[in-house]
């Protein structure tokens, strides 16, 4: 269409039909519905003599943006959030849906029970040192060597598993010296596959099936070769847990157990480097290992005990199970606070109502593009909850007006190697701010309702 006139300059008059002839449907995914805008809703902002020379007035024309896609998105996203937050987080914190115990019940001093969820056993060749704090094994079932250290006290023992310092070292499946160049030379480049490298490190070394890498050493050509001085085995630390013998549960209540837990501090060796030696002497031979079951508690960051593991080491192997820290009755039913449960249920109901309201608001949200025939003006409106539309913007058309089409593309980054693009529209007229058009309107319908020529800006 030429740029020297407006589509409506040659349009039908008010005496002729006021709908645009049907055209070939747009191949774009968005849809729109064409309607005739009620005359009663028109509030003229200009005079007929303001229109361009040769302009023929006509009845207003309007298109309504599609709501199907945005409603489906609102339903899906809202359902995921409602399920994760409402039934997940709120339900668990307020114990709205308590789970009965499916395992063994362990009675404690106040007459309530704890739930032993299950038992797992595997064989291992453990070696115990009589006056030592170190024990090591080679497990046939899992193919790893486990080394632990413990220290006994009146209230709690402390168990320390020796592991790699994961704050300084990282495990990868594939690494190659100078395999890439995006981080510079004299680097190790690593990935989880050989298709492309994901990260670079100063030093790496291979151990059995994995590469271990770190940046704690300066960049040097010598880092291409493994070094005993730099090896990851020199960066082993203890992961410590407080423990008590399982038999002591029957002598104290849950609140007493928690008080003792928080009063007990970790020994100083939990903060230092791990010692791989059986010669670490202990002044206490009452070690809770050789055949006696004990509890290991998770970190006390929340100032309350929620879970623990039941461990039982012996020379034949180890048994492990999960213990739910909570009160159960003799039938295995969870004992919960009724007031807390009602509060959680009220929160979930409120979230459900907000979810329904949000979906309904999205469903009833409508966006309109209208061409006011008597003014030669395009108006953008929107409405919620089926209320009358509220004007969001307008632009007066002239023979020099046009529909601008432009494309935006996302940046190419390491995290986003495949950029995406999106198409946008705006109506432009000389000496007026452009009117940005919402994305739910197709190009074909915008041309039909405005009659403007298209200019592409790629």
Lowest mean pLDDT among 148-157, 189-198, 219-228: 148-157
C-alpha span between 87 and 93 (Å, rounded):
10
CB within 8 A of 248, min separation 6: which ones? none
Q: Indicate the angle between helix axes 338-364 and 68-81, nearest 10 degrees.
A: 170
State residue 301's pLDDT score.
53
Cβ neighbours around 431 below 10 Å, total:
7
C-alpha span between 74 and 80 (Å, rounded):
10
C-alpha span between 4 and 398 (Å, rounded):
10
State residue 1's pLDDT score.
40
C-alpha span between 65 and 445 (Å, rounded):
10
Tens of pLDDT along 346-362? 999 999 999 999 999 88
Tens of pLDDT along 97-106? 888 888 888 8
State residue 128's pLDDT score.
63
Indicate if the pLDDT at residue 59 is higher than 60.
no
Average pLDDT, the chain: 77
- The DSSP-derived string for 116-160 is E---EEEE---B--TTBSEEEEE-TTT--EEEEEEE--SS-EEEE
Contact yes or no for 268/129 (Cβ under 8 A) = no
Indicate if the pLDDT at residue 141 is higher than 70.
no
What average pLDDT score do residues 281-290 get?
Answer: 50
Region class of 290: left (phi > 0), else alpha (psi between -120 and 50), else beta: beta
Cβ neighbours around 305 below 10 Å, total:
19
Lowest mean pLDDT among 110-124, 166-180, 288-302, 390-404: 288-302
Look at strands 454-457 and 402-409 and give their pairing.
parallel
Give the start-to-end residue ranges of the domains of the chain.
Answer: 7-66+365-457, 73-92+339-362, 101-336
Token pair belonging to 272:
């230092």
State residue 104's pLDDT score.
86
> Could you give the percent of the chain with pLDDT greater than 70?
75
State residue 261's pLDDT score.
82
Indicate if the pLDDT at residue 21 is higher than 70.
no
Closest CA to 42 of 366, 377, 385, 435: 377
Indicate if the pLDDT at residue 300 is higher than 60.
no
C-alpha span between 46 and 96 (Å, rounded):
61
Instruction: Report in angstroms the alpha-carbon separations of 388 from 38, 310, 382.
Output: 12, 65, 8
Tens of pLDDT along 81-137? 888 888 888 988 888 888 888 888 888 888 888 888 777 777 777 666 554 455 666
Indicate if the pLDDT at residue 73 is higher than 70.
yes
């Amino acid at each position: 269409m030429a740029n020297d006139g407006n589509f409506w300059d040659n349009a039908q008059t008010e005496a002729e039909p006021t709908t645009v002839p049907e055209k070939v449907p747009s191949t774009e995914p968005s849809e729109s519905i064409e309607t005739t805008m009620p005359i009663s809703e028109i509030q003229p902002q200009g005079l007929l003599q303001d229109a361009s020379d040769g302009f023929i007035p006509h009845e207003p024309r309007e298109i309504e943006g599609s709501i199907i896609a945005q409603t489906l998105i609102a339903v899906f996203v809202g359902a995921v959030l409602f399920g994760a937050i409402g039934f997940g987080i709120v339900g668990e914190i307020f114990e709205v849906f308590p789970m009965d115990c499916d395992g063994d019940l362990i009675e404690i001093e106040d007459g309530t029970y704890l739930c032993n969820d299950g038992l797992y056993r595997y064989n291992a060749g453990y070696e115990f040192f009589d006056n030592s704090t170190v024990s090591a094994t080679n497990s046939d079932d899992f193919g790893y060597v486990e080394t632990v250290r413990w220290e006994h006290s009146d209230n709690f023992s402390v168990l320390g598993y020796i592991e790699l310092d994961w704050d300084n070292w990282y495990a990868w499946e594939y690494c190659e010296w100078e395999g890439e160049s995006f981080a510079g030379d004299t680097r190790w480049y690593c990935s989880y596959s050989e298709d492309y490298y994901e990260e670079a490190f100063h030093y790496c070394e291979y151990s059995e099936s994995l590469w271990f890498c770190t940046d704690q050493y300066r960049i040097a050509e010598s880092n291409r070769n493994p070094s005993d001085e730099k090896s990851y085995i020199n960066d082993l630390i203890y992961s410590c847990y407080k423990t008590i013998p399982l038999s002591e549960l029957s002598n104290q209540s849950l609140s007493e157990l928690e008080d003792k837990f928080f009063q007990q501090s970790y020994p100083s060796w939990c903060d230092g480097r791990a010692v791989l030696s059986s010669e670490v002497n202990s002044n206490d031979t009452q070690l809770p290992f050789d055949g006696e079951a004990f509890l290991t508690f998770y970190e006390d960051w929340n100032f309350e005990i929620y879970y623990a593991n039941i461990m039982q080491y012996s020379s034949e192997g180890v048994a492990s199970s999960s213990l739910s820290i909570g009160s159960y009755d003799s039938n295995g039913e969870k004992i919960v606070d009724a007031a807390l449960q009602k509060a959680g249920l009220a929160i979930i109901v409120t979230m459900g109502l907000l979810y329904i309201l949000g979906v309904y608001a999205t469903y009833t949200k409508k966006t309109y593009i209208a061409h006011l025939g008597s003014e030669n003006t395009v108006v953008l409106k929107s409405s919620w909850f089926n209320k009358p539309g509220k004007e969001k913007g307008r632009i007066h058309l002239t023979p020099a007006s046009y529909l601008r089409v432009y494309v935006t593309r996302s940046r190419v980054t390491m995290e986003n190697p495949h950029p995406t693009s999106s198409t946008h529209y705006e109506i432009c007229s000389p000496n007026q701010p452009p009117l940005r058009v919402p994305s739910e309107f197709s190009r074909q319908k915008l041309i039909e309702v405005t009659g403007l020529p298209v200019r592409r800006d790629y």
